[in-house]
Amino acid sequence: MSFGNIMSMFGGAGNGAGFENISAGSAVQFHGDEDSIFIDVRSHGEINGGTIKGAIAAPLQELSNHAQPDGSGSLPAIAEKKRIFIVCASGARSGVAARQMAQLGYENVANLSGGLGAWVRAGGPVQR
């Protein structure tokens, strides 16, 4: 099943902003997939308290340093066409980050609705 099909089945309807909103339950299905990456845009202090296992720490205020379309930052290049899931505490900051990533030209960007708490409730793996 494609990323787009999962997104539409589980409430990831398009929002006209170049990214999708996805439920934690749907996002968990992509964890561990080599074509998917998870990015935590909370502050370093928040991230140190726990995050999605394997997530890249890229606090929102530093996102432009990490998201370089040519891959020179800590995030993959646009050309790699990875599925990108962005998380924060509630889904608000990750929505801003998802919009920024889409504006840079990244495709297959998803904002994890409900944030890390929703991820934990959905049984997603966490690292501390």
Q: What is the mean pLDDT of the chain?
A: 90
Query: For residues 94 and 105, what is the distance between their CA atoms, to the nearest angstrom?
Result: 17
Residue identified by tokens 């929102």 is 60
Q: What angle do CA 117, 3, 36 make, to 5 degrees?
A: 65
Nearest one of 48, 32, 15, 16 to 85, comparing CA atoms: 32
Question: How do residues 13-34 score in pLDDT, each as one tens digit?
Answer: 445 578 999 999 999 999 999 9
Domains of the chain listed by start with CATH number: 3-127 (3.40.250.10)
Phi then psi for residue 77, to 5 deg, are -70, 155
Give me the pLDDT at residue 19, please.
95
Per-residue pLDDT tens digits for 41-58: 999 999 999 999 999 999
Q: Can you tell me the mean pLDDT for 67-74? A: 95
